[in-house]
């Protein structure tokens, strides 16, 4: 039903390289890494028998976030192109260098790919990946979903997020985040350098997904992400079927920097982080989130909640370095559902 992976320069990629009703696995060549190996992006194209819109999905923008990778692969395997009116284009691993290293950032430049968009064709590997993705893959999308997770060091309450904007694209983003089907939907103020900001520049409706993390890919979490992607295909009309139209908890926060998870509650010291809270637990301002210990057992610091709310993100990798976020507290009422 599909060819073996075909290699071609990313600038030569067009949806029509995959005939209607077929699936293709492609390796799109972006550049050459400093060691001479190709910098390539694997792309899975499932083109429906009938014409229609295109859903673009990416995984592993951060190399230690695995749930979305497997969900994209599984969905691609399961799609029946005879039933599709439109296309699914999945990029299971966008950040190959980071995935190879099993770390958040790639080892060549140690840049966070989710901070360098729109990138540059002349920069290091992360800059080139960002540039190639926004120039050659984003434009084919009618809707784009970027699948993230807590990664090796964190657990996060799963959510669908989007950047607030007061126009039809903003409405579309909210509807797509709800349609993905997770309990928590979170609209926040725009942040630069992201895949979502590159999509915004091109007026491509875009959402991001956060899945559990802890360096794992639990089968239930993968299945929920795969289901969410198929809901997006239903929202677009690529697949027949219904999709969620209401979230259990929808929060919109247009304050500056809302949605930036990696700045909250930085550890004042390197050491061993011992959490005192669990994911999604209600906490009061001032309540200990955890402590940082010296190897000899001395408590170096107690990190207290800066505000009341629920624990959206908590560090699960015990070794912590000064400045690392240990938790993010989302300001929601303790009685909020879920």
With tokens 């979490």, the residue in question is: 221
The C-alpha R_g of the chain, in whole angstroms, comes to 20
DSSP 215-243: T---HHHHHHHHHHHHHHHHHHTSS-S--
Number of chain positions touching Zn ion (CB under 5 A): 3
DSSP 72-84: HHHHHHH--GGG-
The verdict on 212 binding Zn ion (CB under 5 A) reads: no
- Rounded to a whole number of angstroms, the minimum distance from the CB of residue 317 to Zn ion is 15
Distance CA 251, CA 217 (A): 26
Mutual orientation of helices 219-236 and 168-180 as an angle, nearest 10°?
140
Sign of CA dihedral 164, 166, 169, 171: positive
Residue sitting closest to Zn ion (CB): 148
**Which residues between 83 and 112 bind Zn ion (CB under 5 A)?**
none
The verdict on 62 binding Zn ion (CB under 5 A) reads: yes
The verdict on 194 binding Zn ion (CB under 5 A) reads: no
The verdict on 310 binding Zn ion (CB under 5 A) reads: no
Smaller CB separation from Zn ion, 65 or 158: 65
Alpha-carbon 55 to chain mean position: 15
The verdict on 148 binding Zn ion (CB under 5 A) reads: yes
Smaller CB separation from Zn ion, 106 or 271: 106
Selected range binding Zn ion among 9-17, 59-67, 289-297, 302-310, rule: CB under 5 A: 59-67
- Rounded to a whole number of angstroms, the minimum distance from the CB of residue 194 to Zn ion is 10
Name the residues that contact Zn ion, by CB under 5 A: 62, 65, 148
């Amino acid at each position: 039903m599909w060819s073996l992976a075909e290699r071609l320069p990313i600038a030569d990629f067009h949806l029509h390289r995959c005939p209607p009703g077929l699936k293709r696995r492609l390796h799109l060549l972006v550049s050459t890494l400093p060691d001479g190996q190709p910098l390539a992006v694997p792309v899975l194209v499932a083109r429906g028998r009938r014409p229609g819109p295109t859903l673009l999905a990416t995984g592993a923008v951060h190399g230690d976030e695995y749930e979305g990778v497997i969900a994209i692969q599984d969905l691609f395997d399961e799609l029946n192109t005879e039933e599709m009116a439109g296309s699914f284009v999945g990029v299971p691993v966008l950040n190959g260098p980071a995935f190879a290293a099993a770390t958040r950032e790639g080892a060549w430049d140690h840049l966070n790919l989710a901070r360098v968009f729109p990138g540059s064709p002349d920069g290091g590997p992360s800059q080139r990946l960002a540039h190639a993705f926004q120039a050659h893959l984003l434009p084919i999308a009618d809707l784009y979903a970027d699948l993230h997770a807590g990664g090796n060091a964190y657990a996060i309450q799963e959510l669908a997020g989007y950047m607030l904007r007061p126009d039809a694209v903003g409405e579309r983003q909210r509807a797509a985040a709800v349609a993905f089907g997770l309990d928590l939907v979170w609209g926040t103020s725009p942040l630069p350098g992201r895949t979502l900001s590159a999509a915004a520049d091109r007026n491509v409706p875009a959402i991001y997904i956060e899945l559990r993390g802890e360096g794992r890919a639990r089968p239930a979490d993968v299945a929920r992400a795969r289901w969410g992607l198929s809901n997006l295909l239903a929202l677009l009309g690529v697949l027949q079927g219904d999709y969620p139209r209401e979230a259990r908890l929808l929060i919109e926060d247009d304050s500056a920097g809302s949605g930036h998870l990696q700045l909250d509650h930085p550890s004042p010291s390197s050491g061993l982080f011992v959490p005192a809270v669990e994911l999604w637990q209600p906490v009061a301002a001032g309540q200990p989130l955890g402590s940082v210990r010296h190897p000899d057992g001395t408590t170096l610091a107690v990190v207290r909640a800066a505000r009341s709310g629920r624990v959206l993100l908590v560090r699960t990798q015990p070794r912590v370095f000064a400045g690392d976020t240990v938790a993010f507290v989302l300001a929601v009422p303790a009685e909020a559902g879920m």
